[in-house]
Structure 1
Amino acid sequence: MSAGHLSDHTGRRPVLVAALLSELAAAALFLVWPALPGLLLARFVTGLGVGMATPTATAYLQDLHIGARPGSGQGRFEAVSTAANVGGLGVGPLVAGLLAAYAPAPVRTPYAVFAVLLVAGIASIMALPETVDRPARPVPYRVQRVRPHGGAGLFCLAVACASAALAIFGLFTSLAPGFVATTLHQSSPAVAGAVVFAVFAAAVLGQSLTGALRPAVRLGIGVAAEAAGCAAVAAGMVQADPALFIAGAVIAGIGSGTLFKAAVALITGAAPATGRAEALATFFLAAYTGLVVTSLGLGLAAQLATPTTATLWFSGFLAVLLTAIALLSRADGAGRHRPAP
C-alpha cells in the first residue's frame, strides 16, 4: 500500500498502469519460474501491484462517479467499488478452479489468462479520463502516512468491519477447500473454487440488499449475519453436513459483504477529495494486515489441528471481533449520525 497514495498528486491513471504492469510482471514470473523462489518473488511483486491498485482504483471510481453524477449520493459508487473488490476476489478462485480442473497445463494456464486480462485492463485505463490535476512540478515520493481521517474511533470501526469481512474470506480460501476435499470427498479444484465463489457472490448480494438501509441497521445486519453464518459453518463441519456448511457459507458471505461496504462508506465519507487515495491506502493497509494475521493464524491452526477444530477456534476469535465492532459502533455513534447513501 506504500504507493497508492501517490495518485492523489500524480494522477490515477499512471499509478494504476504501474500497478497492472507489476501484476503483469508477476504473471510472467509465475509462468516461467514455477520453483519455490520464483513463486515467492512473484507473490511479492503481486502484493506490490495490489497495494498500488486497490486504493487507487477505489478512489478513481469515486472520482468518476462524482464527475458523472454530481450530487447524486454515494450509493452507486459504494455498490460498484465493493462489488469490484469483493467480487473480483471470488471470481478468481472460481475461474482458477475451472481452469485447473478442465484446461491443459493447469499450473500455467490461469496465469496466461490473467496476463491477457491485465493487458486488456491497461488498454481500458488508458482510454479513461484523468480525474486529478497534476502539479506543475513532480511530487517527491514520501512514505505512506498512517492518518485516520474522521477520527480514531471511526477509523478503528471501519478497519474492524473490514477485518471481520476479510477474515471470513480468509477462512474459505484456506481451510474450507481442505474440508471439502477430505470430509466431503470432493477433490475437484472446480468444486473448491465454486464453494469459495459462493461466499463472495453472497457478499455482493448482501451489499445490494442492504444498500438503502441506515448505516446502523446495515452494521447490525452484517454483524448478526456473520455470527450466524460462521456458527452454521462450524456446525456443518462438525456434523459433516454439506447443506448446513453451504448455507452457513452463504449467510456469512452476506454478512461479510455488508460489513465491507459499511467500512468503505465510513472511510470515503470522512476523507477529503485531495486525500481520498491516501485515506483508502491507510484503510486497506490496516485491513489487509488483519487478513494476513488471520490467514497466518488459520495456517498455524491447520498444522496443529483438523480443519474442523481450527474453524471452531476461528469462530471464537470472530465472535470477539464482532463484539468489538458492536461496541465501537455504539461508542462512535457513526451509524446514528451519518445519513444513508
Structure 2
Amino acid sequence: MHESLFRPIQLGAISAPNRILMAPLTRGRAGPDAVPTEIMQTYYRQRASAGLIISEATGISREGSGWPSAPGIWSDAQVEAWKPVTEAVHEAGGRIIMQLWHMGRIVHPYFLDGELPVSASATMAPGHAHTPEGRMDNVVARPLRLDEMPRIVDDYGHAAENAKRAGFDGVQLHGANGYLIDQFLRNSSNLRDDDYGGSPENRVRLMREVMERLVAIWGADRVSIRLSPNGESQGVDDSDPATLYAEAARVLEALKVSFIELRQPGPDGTFGATTVPPQDHVFRAHYSGPLVLNSDYTSEAADADVASGRADAISFGRPYISNPDLVERIRLGAEFAPNVGVPQTWYFPGEAGYIDYPTLAEAQASATA
C-alpha cells in the first residue's frame, strides 16, 4: 500500500529507502547537564526503519537551551553520550541527522542564572516557560548586539562540529516554531532597523550566515533546515510570509542545501488555527531540491501528496511516539497505535511512554497469547 511513500529518495548525500521521515520530537529524556541517556539509544534504534530520523531539537549552547531534560551538543560529555545513539541507529540500518536548536526568547532566566534570554528584539513570548520547578512567566528578551552575531554563528558551528564527532549523518537548522532563527525571520518579533532587520533580505541574514557555516563544516549535501512559514507560532508571525519565504527559498537554493522541511498547519489545528494558506508553493517556485512536508498527515494524505509531486517526502511527528514501527504499519495499511496518556507521557522522565510501545507484531502476538 501507499507505493509512493516507499520509493527510495536521495536527500543530498543521504540515500533514504523510503519517504517516511521521523520529524524532530522533544521528549525530555536527557540527564543532568543536558547529557543524553541510555534509554535514548533504545528509543532511536526502535525507529531506525524511518527513511531518515531527524533528532529531537538539541541545544547548541547553554544560552540557547531552556527545556527541562532536553539534550545538548555543546560539551564533550554530550558528544560522548550521543555516540552510542548514532551507533545504535546505524547498527539497525538507519540514518539520523541532528537538529540544532537555539530557543532565543523562549529560554527563561531560570536556565541562565538569572540572565535575560536573547532574541532579535526586546520582545516577550506569550504564555509561560517550562522549568523543572513548574511554569514561569516569560520575560522580555535582550536584543542581540551586532557584535554578538559572530558568536551566535560560532555557537552553531561548534555544535555542528560536535554533531559530526558524535557520528550523525548530517545536521538540520531549527528555523521554525518561534525559536531564535524564526524570531529573526518574521517581523512580529524582529523589530530591528540594522542589517538584521527591516527588509526580508536583512531578516534572513542570520539564517543565511548560520547555514553558510553549517555548509562549510558538513557540505551542502548534509545540511537541511526546518521552517514554519504560515501562522503564529509561540507569538512569532509575519505580515507577508510569501515575500519573506521566497527570499529564504532563494538563499537556500543558492546554498544547494540537501532538503527543506516545512511544518504547515495541520487539519486538527493542534498548533494553532491560521487563515494563512500553506506556503509550500512559494518554496517550489524558488527551490529545486527535495521538499519535505509535515502537517499531521494521515498515511493516505501523505501518499497522495508525494504521488502528486507536492512533496518529495513526509515527516511524521506524533505518530512516531507510540509507533516505533510506523513504516511497517503504513506498509501493511494498519492503524497507528494511539498515543496513550498523551500529552502526559511525552515529557515524563523514564521508560514509560517512551520505549515501552509495542510494535504491531508484538501487539498481535500479545493479543493471541
Tell me whether the two structures share a fold, i.e. TM-score over 0.5.
no
More contact order relative to length (CA 8 Å, sep ≥ 6): 1
What TM-score does the superposition give when structure 1 sets the normalisation length?
0.26
Whichever structure has more helix as a proportion of its residues is 1
What TM-score does the superposition give when structure 2 sets the normalisation length?
0.25
